[in-house]
Structure 1
Amino acid sequence: MARDFRFSVNVFGIPSREAVRERCRRAESAGFHTVFAPDHLGGPAPFTVLQAAADATEHLRVGTLVLNAPFWNPALLAREAASLDILSDGRFELGLGSGHMKWEFDAAGIPWEGFTARAQRLEETITELRRFFTTDMAALPGGRAPLPVQRTGFDGAGPPLIVGGTGDRVLTIAGRYADIIGVAGVYQVKGEPPGTLRIGTAAEADERVRFAREAAGERAAQVEWHLLVQAVVPTDDRRATAAELVSQFTAPMSVDEALETPFALIGTPAQMAEQLRASRERYGFSYVTVHEPYYEAFEPVVELLRS
């Protein structure tokens, strides 16, 4: 039986306190389930944004999509995550990734390591968080270190864990630990500088979901599968709009591929809703996130799928 849809939006900017609060209240009212904050050096601090979102709403969940694990000391991250989980009344979801933007590491003065080393850091962070979310954190001197409210992730030690990516190593880690697995919709363009990305195809999504399911093994049926939509493009002419869209891409993609990929929604709200139903049937994607610039275009789709 297919999972019910959950809908979410990434917050990119914080023009003002009230603007953030109003956006989050509107999302809650429109039927969105979660507001996410990414972890990029050129954007706002994720935990601060999420606390503001939690304070402005009653039921909206908040989460990171995703933290760059190499940026974080696990003990300090455990403190941040547990504190937010308490102050949001158990509405926090912790998303972790290995990091893929080399310029961010360079600008922050953090050594840029190869993919294998970054993936290893991700796995180590997950296992360390699980340790700190148990008695180790509470046993620190002072005895006032916070512990998470939720006990659904990290093998019953903390908030739900999201892990997303495209590579074998990260998806293997996701299959081993994550409650929510995201098959990322962007890929590094071969031969280009790190951070030069392209949208993935439906065939690539098929193969990556299949790999992640095999990595999850018996856990696959319990995992929630997450889709990060890279573009939402309203139109009455899907093919013409897709042709215009692919002309702007950094790597070749056919019009048919653009229309088939789960990582771009093109069409009327009804057509986009049908795309998402088809993606849930084909891949299992039921947790759908759109980037903030596409929020208003996506609202009617949420309304259709809620009803």
Structure 2
Amino acid sequence: MRDFRFGFNVFEVRSREEFAAYCRRAEEFGYDVALMPDHLGAPAPFPALVAAAEATERLRVGTFVLNAAFWNPHLLAREIATTDRLTGGRLEVGLGAGHMKWEFDAAGLPWWPFGERVGHLERTVEELAGVFGGPGYPEQEPLRSQYGMEVLRPVQRHGFGGHGPPLLVGGTGDTVLRLAARRADIVGLAGTQQVKGRPPGTFTIGTAGQAAERVAFIREHAGDRDPELNLMVQFVVVTDDRRGTAAQVAERLPNLSVEEVLETPYLLIGTVEQMAERLRENRERYGFTYITVQSPFLDAFAPVIGHLR
């Protein structure tokens, strides 16, 4: 059984100094990975990851997750290789199919059906592996020979068929999880599910039963592979009144009963000791060992890390 790892998903960058101090505090708390999403109106992922690594000693950094439809694979390969080099081989690459239609509209990008978006995601993974494992662009060979330049490749040789950083693929549906099970080193479950009949980007929290079914689906399609399982915890609240707080949360999540709020792995409610015990139970039940929290809960969750180390 794998040991726990802990990540935090960054929402904003206010200044260089504040961001560096924030990352150093997270490292002192015991977090392992600083993560950046890929949304319009949010910080650009790769510069922020370089800054996070520069400010810390051991913190790994990762995208959580890149919207593959935003990226040309060859331009993305350049970003990944450069970032992996500048962070000293501490990068993890998270990729997803994209789910916010308004972002596609604002960026002037076509909103493909989900299957097409996943197809683009798969082609992106394949092309990245080809660039990372290939001999370099032949058009650059005269320049490389003249000046003794290296082919731009990642430092790490783990993911992408042994040619790049570890690859995380995140999602919920069958198509993307089937891809993740086959190709990713880490499979991410965010626990948010599209509400049927509502506009794209209208989500609800999955239940414990749904989480168990998704994990079983991943393992079925992974075969002999054993990808690390990432759990995105959407909400953390430290309280002595676990049931009373769960009842308040259930009022805002009408699809979940109080018992379901208490049982779902995507929400953590209770004392620090109770949360630590729930994560141990979730590791046994589902196999979740890489735990990520949203940045507003960085401080609240930190004591739980101490109980699990």
TM-score, length-normalised on structure 2?
0.96
The whole-number CA distance in structure 2 between the counterparts of 1:51 and 1:140 is: 29
Structure 1 range deviating more: 128-137 or 148-157? 128-137
Equivalent residue number for residue 183 of structure 1: 189
CA-to-partner distance for each residue in 1:131-162, whole Å, 9 max, x for gaps?
Answer: 01012436451435520100011110100000
Q: How does 1:187-202 map to 2 (within 5 A)?
A: 187-202=193-208
Structure 1 residues 1-307: aligned runs within 5 Å = 2-137=1-136, 139-141=138-140, 142-143=143-144, 144=149, 145-220=151-226, 223-249=227-253, 251-306=254-309
**Structure 2: how far apart are the matches of 1:184 and 1:169?**
15
Change beyond 3 A, Cα 1:304–1:139 = farther
Please say which structure displays the higher CA radius of gyration: 2
Q: Which 5+ residue runs of structure 1 have no aligned equivalent?
A: none
Post-superposition shift, 1:211?
A: 0.3
Amino acid at match of 1:39: D
- Tell me how far apart the structure 1 counterparts of residues 243 and 196 of structure 2 sit (CA, whole Å): 27
Shift of 1:125: 0.2
* Partner SS, residue 289 of structure 1: strand
Aligned residues: 302
Question: Residue 109 of structure 2 aligns to a residue in which SS?
Answer: coil
Q: Deviations over 1:254-287 (max 9, x none)?
A: 0000000000000011001011001100000000
Deviation at 1:99, TM superposition (A): 0.3
Return the TM-score normalized by structure 1: 0.96
Provide the C-alpha distance between the structure 1 equivalents of 2:3 and 2:138, rounded to a whole number of angstroms. Answer: 39
**Deviations 1:191-214 (CA, angstroms, capped at 9, x unpaired):** 111001111100000000000111
- The list of structure 1 runs, each at least 4 consecutive aligned residues, that deviate by more than 6 angstroms after superposition, is none
Q: Over the residues paired in the alignment, what is the CA RMSD in angstroms?
A: 1.0
Unaligned runs of 5+ in 2: none
Distance in 1 separating the partners of 2:32 and 2:178: 27
C-alpha distance in structure 2 between counterparts of 1:22 and 1:233, whole Å = 24
Preserved contact between residue 96 and residue 170 of structure 2 (Cα < 8 Å): yes
- 8 Å Cα contact 1:12/1:43 also seen in 2: yes
